[in-house]
Structure 1
Amino acid sequence: MLKEGALDKFQGIFGLHVMPDLPIGTIGSRAGPFMAGSGRFEATIQGIGGHAAWPHKARDPVLAMSSAIIALQHIISRETDPLDSR
């Protein structure tokens, strides 16, 4: 779509986001991109499958990965300031 010129007629694109510190009825903006960020990492978790009759003989990679995801989300959502873009 971009190659076909879908955005050629627009001079700017705006997105809205909830900002609890702005007074009701106001919109905040500035020139250039803002409120965007990304990060990437790769992890490998290995385990050994098992049987419900012998759970003690397995190393469940699904449980390990779900615990890792919850722990990482905790760091992001509870330990970092969303306004700190470092």
Structure 2
Amino acid sequence: MDVTEFEELIDRLGEDLSLWPDDRRLPAEALLARSPAAQALLEEALVLRRALAAPPMRAPAGLADRIVAAAAKMQDDTAEPRTEGETAGS
């Protein structure tokens, strides 16, 4: 087994080698024992699985309201006509 085949098997069978059929698992374990590239692929798959299994992150309370208010203020600030040399808030 080479690293490319190992990567394809991770994509198809998942990162838990204990669930792989013996005819795939045994060569994969042998490859892992000698290949840093295969080890890195397996670690990436494990990290991805943990990230996907983690609970979703929530925005802080009121964040959407603060964004809308800031956008409205920016729009108001740019909508005011100014004379030459005048700045916002003057």
What's the TM-score bracket when you normalise by the shorter of the two chains?
A: under 0.3
Higher RCO structure, 1 or 2 (CA under 8 Å, sep 6+): 2
Write 1 or 2 for the structure with the bigger share of helix. 2
TM-score (norm 2): 0.26
